Structure 1
Amino acid sequence: MKLHKIKDNSQQKKDSFSDIGTLTGKIADKTLEQLEREGVFVFPEIVKDAEDITRDQMIIQSVNDSYRSGNVMGFLGCGDERLIIESRFGGEEDDFFFQYLLDRVMDFPNIVDLESDANQDSRLFNFLLFLFPYYLKTAMRKGLFKKYIRHSYNDGNVKGAIDIARHIEKNTPFTGNVAYSQREFSYDNSLMELVRHTIEFIKRKPYGRNLLVKVKDEVKLVIDATPGYEPYDRQKIIEENKKNTVRHAYFREYLALQRLCLLILRHQKHQIGSGSRQIYGILFDGAWLWEEYVNSLIEDVFYHPMNKGGKGAQRLFACNIGLIYPDFISRDNKVRIIADAKYKPLDNIGNRDYLQVLAYMFRFDAKAGYYLYPEAEGSDDMKLWMNRGSTYEANVSPRDDISITKHGLKIPVDSTDYAGFVTKMKTHEQEFKQVFTTR
């Protein structure tokens, strides 16, 4: 197996990718949206009207004689070639920061070291299993999935279309029953059966029950809603779901869950990535993980609109024009603060970022803006005062009432084990939050 490792937000010479040339040729300069259509599992799922960069973000982008990586972390493969994308704060052996983000945001089991399993395909499969509780909980917020299915009956209470052939077969000589079928709105349908098969499959894993205990209420609802479940029906249920994917926009969360269940269950019959020309893998949007992690730290001080969930949408103008989703809007409406989570190095926060936050500040009458980013150096905050005046009149000077501050959260890079990393992170988190809690 040919394995190559890179860091997010980094740049490497194209020559260094020569040993995984086939895989590189299939992913270079392609967006997450394109790779998702080709079978790569992207978390969180792509949302068409999302304002963020997710849809157009590239895994590796050509820059002269080099490839530049973005905010994506995860695992990709093609044939016997593998690419691991770690966080830029990871060490030579361990990537504690990526593990910590997954643990805080998604309650992942503490076993996600990409190097700890010699079989990278098994590691990828475990990632898919760990995602299941999150996707199940998200989908079930819409309630149990119902759809019309056709049931066949043979009794004297005729309510649907009579099945002549089946009637002759079963009711000759005539005994008073009639064979008929009827379309009924039911919870016990092919999609809920697929979810049930996935639950039963995960239960048989050594860590399966511990994984499902986080969604025990949702699991009970699925089990109660699928009395027709039969273990030997798995392949038939898989084929039905492959042919009949969820189409209604309201149930897009169930579409993501359906796709994940199919990946998990089909792994048993067809190994993930079987075939030398197929791309496979799982990718995590680091920007989304960072934003949700920051929210877990400051949610008691800030509102958190979410474009991927369509929650907390704001408008720049009257008549519902100018849809925006600021990352964070302070709950204090007397001294309003706008904050933007940026999973990128300090030096990469530039002009477009400034314009975006200043527009949000203007919209919400905020005098202070913040960029919240991860850093390894432990640098002091950088406070930028907005200018007034014009170079044409030679009267440019800094204002003393409007500012944007680059506020970093220090990420430990010298920890020897995960427990030590967590301890240091807790200390740095308190320092990070203190800016907002002492105002």
Structure 2
Amino acid sequence: MTTPVRISDNSSNKKELFSDIKNLTKKIANKTLEQLERESVFVFPKIIDETSDLTKEQMILQEVNGSYRTGNVMGFIGYGSERLILNSRFCINDNDYFLQYLLDKVVDIPNIVDMNTDANQEHRIFDLVIFLFPHYLKQAMRKGLFKKYIQNKYNNENVKGLIDIPRHIKNNTPFIGKIAYTQREFSFDNALTELVRHTIEFIKRKPFGNTLLNKVKDEVKLIIEATTDFEPYDRQKIIDLNIKKKVRHAYFKEYLSLQKLCILILQNQKYQIGTGFNEIYGILFDGAWLWEEYINTLVSDYFYHPTNKTGGGAQWLFSGPLGRLGLIYPDFIGKDELNRIIADAKYKPMDNIGNRDYLQVLSYMFRFDSKTGYYFYPEAEQSGDLVLYLNRGNSYENNLQGRDDIKLIKHGFKIPQTSSSYDEFSKEMNLQEKLFTQSLIALVV
């Protein structure tokens, strides 16, 4: 199997680096995440039209001036035996504690294991994928157990469907009073719930399996009770049925995400050993979304947090004869009406926060009568706040000067870079969170 190529998010990489994964690179270069998601790549969280930081137009590898530029995406992606590992730029000696920590805080992944330092990064990411299963199972089953029409075969005297003549001749000759027939019926025991059941049984065999599934014990119980026809040796047949027939009804979109995750979990071993698969596969994590939701866990006492992925807390720029227009989702809106602060979580280096970012936050500040805007971004070294004062005047009249009442501030959050274990990394992050919160209190109180 080809040695995986490793790169980091928000980086520029020479084309020569990808010489050993030419087929994979050709498949993914300059393709949008929306296109890749349609080609069986699992994207967390699912892309929707209103997403701001991770748009459906974003690319994993974008060709720029003879190099490939990466964005805010982490994870792994493969084609056949070729692999590309996308680490966070805060990865320590191939241990991406930062990604694990964000998932732990945002998705409530239990702190069961310190990521195995003997395993390669692809295997460690796969462990994180398994930890996502309770989250997706719970989301899907809020819609109730999935049911669909299936063809059941019967052989009795109470004919209620289409007579199956070949099967009737085979089973009921000489005639003994029974009729072989098929009937189309709604059933909770179908290919999708069987797929979920196989995933549950797979996770049970992991050392941390029962602890993980205990988070969704009620949902697991319902699935087990519904899948009365479950047989362990049917796993590949069930996987093939689900690959062939994806969930299509919009009402059950959460089940489509669960279905894709289950397929990824159950087929991962084959992907890892490289058995000649002729389609793209893998999982990609939206670093921008994870960072924004992580920051929300720290600032929720002081800021409102509109969420574009769920539509919660939607705001509008305009009101008029046509109603409300200009839908916007600022990351954070300060709760203090007399000292309103607008803040934006940016998962990018400080120097990459530029013109479009300035225009976005300034428009939000104008909309909410705010004189102070903040960017919360992760950094490897503590660089201190960078304060930008809005100009007044213009160059034509030679009266350009900074004003002291309206400002944008880039406020970094230091990410530990010397941790020797995930436990140590977590403790150091807890310390940085306290420092961040203390500076925030001084800002808003």
TM-score (norm 1): 0.87
Contact kept, 8 Å, 2:415 with 2:429, in 1: the verdict is: yes
Q: Deviations along 1:400-432, whole A, 9 cap, x unmatched?
A: 433222111111212333322222211111121
2:119 corresponds to which letter in structure 1? Answer: D
Match of 1:161 in 2: 161
Q: CA deviation at 1:64?
A: 1.8
Q: CA deviation at 1:347?
A: 0.7
Alpha-carbon distance between aligned partners in 1 of 2:208 and 2:115, rounded to the nearest angstrom: 16
Q: CA deviation at 1:125?
A: 4.1
Q: Deviations along 1:190-212, whole A, 9 cap, x unmatched?
A: 22222112111211223221221
Contact kept, 8 Å, 1:51 with 1:324, in 2: the verdict is: no
Q: CA deviation at 1:96?
A: 2.5
Match of 1:240 in 2: 241
Contact kept, 8 Å, 2:100 with 2:128, in 1: the verdict is: no
2:285 corresponds to which letter in structure 1? Answer: F
Q: CA deviation at 1:267?
A: 4.3
Q: Deviations along 1:249-274, whole A, 9 cap, x unmatched?
A: 23211101111112223446776752
Match of 1:425 in 2: 429
Match of 1:369 in 2: 373
Q: Does 1:38 align with 2:42?
A: no
Instruction: Give the one of 391, 401, 404 matched to 2:405.
Output: 401
Moved more, 299-308 or 285-294: 299-308
What secondary structure does 1:91 align onto?
Answer: coil
2:364 corresponds to which letter in structure 1? Answer: Y
Q: Deviations along 1:51-87, whole A, 9 cap, x unmatched?
A: 3333222222222232222111122334444332222
What secondary structure does 1:229 align onto?
Answer: coil
Cα separation, partners in 2 of 1:77 and 1:230, compared to 1, 3 Å:
closer
Q: CA deviation at 1:341?
A: 0.7
Cα separation, partners in 2 of 1:123 and 1:381, compared to 1, 3 Å:
closer
Match of 2:287 in 1: 286
Q: CA deviation at 1:290?
A: 0.8
Q: Name the % identity.
A: 61
Q: Deviations along 1:21-70, whole A, 9 cap, x unmatched?
A: 33333332222222223333222222234233332222222222322221
2:352 corresponds to which letter in structure 1? Answer: N
2:286 corresponds to which letter in structure 1? Answer: D
Match of 2:147 in 1: 146
1:17 corresponds to which letter in structure 2? Answer: F
Alpha-carbon distance between aligned partners in 2 of 1:404 and 1:241, rounded to the nearest angstrom: 50
Q: CA deviation at 1:276?
A: 6.9
Q: CA deviation at 1:152?
A: 4.8
1:4-83 pair list within 5 angstroms? 4-83=5-84
2:343 corresponds to which letter in structure 1? Answer: A
Cα separation, partners in 2 of 1:369 and 1:142, compared to 1, 3 Å:
farther
What secondary structure does 1:2 align onto?
Answer: coil
What secondary structure does 2:396 align onto?
Answer: coil
Contact kept, 8 Å, 2:54 with 2:286, in 1: the verdict is: no
Q: CA deviation at 1:124?
A: 5.2
Alpha-carbon distance between aligned partners in 1 of 2:158 and 2:148, rounded to the nearest angstrom: 23
What secondary structure does 1:253 align onto?
Answer: helix
What secondary structure does 2:56 align onto?
Answer: helix
1:319-330 pair list within 5 angstroms? 319-330=323-334
Cα separation, partners in 2 of 1:320 and 1:179, compared to 1, 3 Å:
farther
Gaps of 5+ in 1: none
Q: Does 1:128 align with 2:129?
A: yes
Gaps of 5+ in 2: none
Match of 1:117 in 2: 119
What secondary structure does 1:237 align onto?
Answer: helix
Moved more, 85-94 or 200-209: 85-94
1:390 corresponds to which letter in structure 2? Answer: N
Contact kept, 8 Å, 2:162 with 2:183, in 1: the verdict is: no
Alpha-carbon distance between aligned partners in 1 of 2:18 and 2:269, rounded to the nearest angstrom: 31
Alpha-carbon distance between aligned partners in 2 of 1:247 and 1:337, rounded to the nearest angstrom: 42
Contact kept, 8 Å, 2:168 with 2:180, in 1: the verdict is: yes
TM-score (norm 2): 0.86
Root-mean-square deviation (CA, aligned residues, Å) is: 3.0
Alpha-carbon distance between aligned partners in 2 of 1:216 and 1:173, rounded to the nearest angstrom: 48
Q: CA deviation at 1:280?
A: 3.0
Contact kept, 8 Å, 2:264 with 2:282, in 1: the verdict is: no
Moved more, 359-368 or 225-234: 225-234
Contact kept, 8 Å, 1:102 with 1:108, in 2: the verdict is: no
Q: Deviations along 1:120-162, whole A, 9 cap, x unmatched?
A: 664454343222222212222333223334445566766x435
Cα separation, partners in 2 of 1:370 and 1:240, compared to 1, 3 Å:
same
Contact kept, 8 Å, 2:134 with 2:213, in 1: the verdict is: yes
Contact kept, 8 Å, 2:21 with 2:83, in 1: the verdict is: yes
Cα separation, partners in 2 of 1:225 and 1:364, compared to 1, 3 Å:
farther
Alpha-carbon distance between aligned partners in 1 of 2:176 and 2:278, rounded to the nearest angstrom: 58
